[in-house]
Structure 1
Amino acid sequence: MDTAFLEQVSRAADRHVADFLATHDDDDVQALAHRPAMARLLDLVTVFTETGSSFHLADRPGAAMGPCLDRLEALQGPTGLFDGTNLCSPPDSAFTLNDVCLALRLIRRLAAPGPLLEEVDARLSAIVARSVDAMVAGGVHTPNHRWELCAALAQVNLLQPRADIPPRIAQWLAEGIDQLPDGMYSERSPLYATAVTNPSLLTIADCADRPELVDHVRRNLTAFLPWFNGDGTVESVFSRRQDQWMAFGAAPFLHLYRRLAAQDGRPDFAAAAAWLARFPLHEPAKLLAIARLDPRLAGTGPAAPPPAAGVLSLPRALAPEEAALESCGVYRFRSGASVATVFGGCDPLVPGVGSGLATNPSFLRFGHGAALLSDVRLSRSFFDLGPFRSQRALRQDRSMVLSEEVQANFYQPLPPERVRADGVYALEHEGRFSAAMEFSARPRDIHRLATEIVVQCDAGHVGLDIGFAGTQTAFALELTFRPGGVLDGVERVGDAGTFRLVAGTGSYRVGNEVIEFGPGLPMDPDDPAGYNPGESYRYLGGTNAAGGVKVYITGRTAGSHRFRFRGYTVPG
């Protein structure tokens, strides 16, 4: 047993439970939705039954269990499902029921649970029994929901076996796991890979005797290895879910790498697990519960290789010189303390900006040590169609070619045969907006703007060549830096935190680590020193603007423009 790891998890679980017990009362619990109510109950059961916990068999966590049970029973509807944001949703209920089953499995490992835990067992078992019919018959609405639902059914079948559960799991699994050739799942999301798909596939593998599913987890974890950052985050710009807009913390990957390191004897997974354990643990009480049920988490794995020199704190297994996820259109190049990430895999916006699409317009990230240029974006004043989004990424050694063409139309009068006496025409969406003008029947004057960006990644340098063809208009290259550093060589524009580079080079320094950028371009009264998310956002008063310290370089879409970024460390 890896006693040091278990003690680390147990201490963190105790701190977590102590924090919520400090404010835990009936009013607090009655405000909880079903998922956090059950998550809290699982945490209480875990520390209450953990011999090494300061809460072992203690009165305070024991008394706090009853209100959580009351809340769960109140929220369970007549169908057996839990009501919430998605109403009586089978997959949302599955998240809660998976935790219900974990708690029941912990209790049933005890030789003598005692009256309190016997009551918890009875009430949770009744919750499970009331849910099964709806869970077996229910449907889903995102890819990962299928596997969360199957995981809940697999655990339920361990505790309350039913003949109709295994065929239902088989029916969902027959669709095939939505894994892309390079190991990413179709949602391309580290959030859902860690919160849903990977843990669910492991649960189904363990509880429904489907060991072949572990290989999908193995491939996904292998794919993620080069995409961790020294600050404890993992790259998510290519995601199709909400984490494409986040700096996503990598801690939820810990138990996945730790389990597969032990199961497969892989030093690279062990290195990832050892590095992840240096950061604050994610959901530590639940991690403790899983470790008690899965001895592979609690045991010692293969020895982790030493960390790489000069690449922040990342071990060598997580810091290869080059990495690519072809299916996501994302590429990474490292040199010493510098790392460049190039993204050219946005989804087409045919249905418009919406959930389930990769639409982040940040096409470059460049970091040198603690200095981070988190987002490079390109806005163009072209019919309010929004920023540059490349849907193609062509690799040429250490260069990436990103391209996009946008168009907008002016519409001519309708042909005589389509003219209506009443003046009422079909309501249509023409790409930018909707109107009752029957756009599809009209001749049009087309305006086009093509943009090509070549990103050249050399040792500690990134070159950016931006070329335009078509309509001449204004552009703004937006550089967003993570706060905490000092800018030099730029001039302030309007609001605090916004600057402009009009000549020469600028720099951004964090400690001894510097990112130099430029050159600037002369100011033009028509150039927009700002970011335009496009009409699809602005019409609703929304934005997808990146947060941070912003520097703009503005110009005209005539010919081509060359920019350069360089990372270096100041001695001393």
Structure 2
Amino acid sequence: MNRRKFIALSTVSTCTFSMTRFSSKTLQSDPGKIPGWLVELIKTNDKGLESLLGYQITDQTDINFGGVKDYQDILNPHSTAAIIQAGACSLFSDSSEFYNSARVIDALAAAAGYLVKTQHSDGTIDLLSTNFHSTPDTGFLVKRLSNSYSLLSKANPPGVEKILVPLKKFLQKGGEALISGGIHTPNHRWVVSAALTKLNGLWPDPRYVERAEQWLGEHLDIDADGQFNEKSTFIYSPLTDRLLITIAKGLNKPEIFDAVRKNLSMTMFYMHPNGEIVTEASGRQDKAIVGTLENYYYPYRYMALKDGNGEFAAMCKRIEETAGQKIRGSLDYLLDDHTLWRPLPASKALPVSYAKPFPNSGLVRIRRNNWDSTIIAKNAVWLTYMNGSAVLQGIRFASSFFGKGQFKSEKINEEGNRWVLTQKLEGPYYQPYPKASISPDGDWEKMPRENRPQSEIQVLETTVTIREMDKGLEIEISSKGTDRVPVAIELIFRQGGVLAGVVKADPDKDQWLLKEGTGTYTSGSDTITFGPGTALHKNIALRGSLPAMDAPTVYLTGFTPFQHTLKIS
């Protein structure tokens, strides 16, 4: 779906159904009608629509008539647009319980009227959580509501003009904003360009194309790894794939499909065995969240059918299995393009055993069938490990070194069969300020510390070396330089499992020490074993380290010079 809280509202309406799985029968498609797998999504969409209708203002005397509240009871354009998107899909589909529904037509007409009323004179709308008079947010709505306009025009239910007239007014006025307005982030360029492309398909205007071409002139922000600038694997990378497909189709630019292929090929290696997506390297709000790949379903399906790509077809199957009907978020895309109703090409085996670096993203992916690990640079969490449903969300290492001892490595070095991360810290003391530069009023702030001579410089060098072993990893952590510095290794597990072999570090918190031997973390039928332990002190909240996460966490502690080899399997 589109944006932030709008995502939350739309998810609330469907979360009860998100674990539904497709059966082999529903995946069979009849080219003469909407296929069974889409019918399943339409049924889920109907339930979501019913929920959204409950948030709409229906009192015609209310100044906000037609508007839809979000889950925080705030009326806004995004949640109002959601009811139009869901309603258009239902009105389009004869398998929907709301097909040709006069109630839904009236609700969508009221929603479109509310959008027109809340739209600024310059054509923009507001994202009330952060952006005002926002061209990018206007682009998000124009892009998806153009899909809705197309579906409603094709369906042409009785009374549809009550929706189409105000919706066209909103879209065309929004187009004026998109022709001249600015953006914030890299993906906003493609949001605006895709929205202009959709508008040009409905009401051709050379100004739409000219502005899209201007943004496209900055070139696509995809690196050699196949990742976009924001590295936002759950939200903005799949969004960018969808946008680029729209632009490539609408403006007849087949070369743009290459970027989509590149990103989708990379993403196959970012999938955990359980169908979740690696998010630790993201530069946006989805960093380190738990998410599945439903947002990629439309790009994978489109490109699988376009190219006859068996790996992309297999990714579609995997998303169907692991994300269920959460792919309902792309229903308008899937309904509006009947070529996507065709059966997928024959699946080709996906990669399940590899050690693959992505240097531009500062990340290494290791997978061996049912277990996998991610090594991450420039991140306090520098390693994750998953064995089936048992998840070690991250390992961190910190020291009480001048309040700046949280370990991060600028890069990951491959040395034979080892992956090496390093950090060097200095802790100086400072001498009297140069006499000629002393501030006459004695103001400390006027005598910046960087201008003072340094002395007694303390040094701490930490090296983490990671090697593969049978069914897991061997991690050697060495920290030396200044002696007697307290250090702590932090193993952060996902909530919901059971720890064994460890002792409480804090009686009131989910924090534990592994003093010796090995510990285990079990979730369902899957277990992660870790050790050996060491606990030379109980100071786990080291000064300068990040606060503990709200998760079951196991600590190993010691002092420098520190050297410990931890095995995880």
Same fold (TM over 0.5): yes
1:37 to 52, 76, 80: 80
**How far 1:283 sits from its partner (Å)?**
5.7
Amino-acid identity (%): 28
CA distance in 2, matches of 1:242, 1:249: 15
Instruction: Determine whether 1:247 maps to 2:250.
Output: no
Q: Residue in 1 aligned with 2:324?
A: 280
Q: Residue in 2 aligned with 1:441?
A: 451
**How far 1:298 sits from its partner (Å)?**
1.6
**How far 1:533 sits from its partner (Å)?**
6.5
CA distance in 1, matches of 2:405, 2:560: 15
Counterpart residue type for residue 388 of structure 1: F
Q: Residue in 2 aligned with 1:430?
A: none
Instruction: Determine whether 1:94 maps to 2:139.
Output: yes
Instruction: Determine whether 1:367 maps to 2:367.
Output: no
**How far 1:191 sits from its partner (Å)?**
2.6
**How far 1:107 sits from its partner (Å)?**
2.2
CA distance in 1, matches of 2:535, 2:505: 14
Instruction: Determine whether 1:457 maps to 2:476.
Output: no
Over 3 Å counting, the alpha-carbon distance change for 1:448 and 1:128 in structure 2 is: same
Q: Which moved more, 1:264-273 or 1:202-211?
A: 202-211
- CA deviation string 1:274-314 (max 9, x = no partner): 11012233361x52221122234221121224xxxxxxxxx
CA distance in 2, matches of 1:125, 1:330: 45
Over 3 Å counting, the alpha-carbon distance change for 1:173 and 1:23 in structure 2 is: closer
**How far 1:401 sits from its partner (Å)?**
0.3
Counterpart residue type for residue 7 of structure 1: V
Q: Residue in 2 aligned with 1:350?
A: none
Q: Residue in 2 aligned with 1:156?
A: 199
Instruction: Determine whether 1:329 maps to 2:342.
Output: no
- CA deviation string 1:405-461 (max 9, x = no partner): 223332221111111212346xxxxxxxxx543223211233332211001112212
2:149 to 77, 101, 104: 104
CA distance in 2, matches of 1:132, 1:511: 52
* SS of structure 2 residue aligned to 1:166: helix
Counterpart residue type for residue 50 of structure 1: S
- CA deviation string 1:236-264 (max 9, x = no partner): 11111121231122221111111111111
Preserved CA contact (<8 Å) 2:536 2:559: no
Counterpart residue type for residue 512 of structure 2: F
2:521 to 508, 532, 545: 508
CA distance in 1, matches of 2:196, 2:402: 51
Q: How many residues align?
A: 520
Preserved CA contact (<8 Å) 1:232 1:251: no
Q: Residue in 1 aligned with 2:44?
A: 12
Over 3 Å counting, the alpha-carbon distance change for 1:227 and 1:550 in structure 2 is: same
Structure-1-length-normalised TM-score: 0.86
Question: Where does 1:329-478 land on structure 2 (aligned, <5 Å)?
Answer: 329-344=362-377, 346=378, 360-385=379-404, 387-424=406-443, 435-445=445-455, 446-472=457-483, 473-478=485-490
Q: Residue in 2 aligned with 1:551?
A: 554
Counterpart residue type for residue 491 of structure 2: L
Counterpart residue type for residue 320 of structure 1: S
* SS of structure 2 residue aligned to 1:392: coil
Structure-2-length-normalised TM-score: 0.87
- CA deviation string 1:91-148 (max 9, x = no partner): 11111111221111112224x4432x11211101111222233211111111111110
- CA deviation string 1:327-352 (max 9, x = no partner): 112112233432222112x2xxxxxx
1:73 to 87, 96, 116: 116
Over 3 Å counting, the alpha-carbon distance change for 1:67 and 1:531 in structure 2 is: farther
Over 3 Å counting, the alpha-carbon distance change for 1:386 and 1:296 in structure 2 is: farther
Over 3 Å counting, the alpha-carbon distance change for 1:381 and 1:35 in structure 2 is: same
Counterpart residue type for residue 365 of structure 2: R
Counterpart residue type for residue 479 of structure 1: L
CA distance in 1, matches of 2:356, 2:44: 34
CA RMSD for the aligned pairs? 2.1
CA distance in 1, matches of 2:237, 2:75: 23
CA distance in 2, matches of 1:512, 1:52: 40
Name segments (4+ residues, structure 1) moved above 6 Å.
none
Instruction: Determine whether 1:295 maps to 2:334.
Output: no
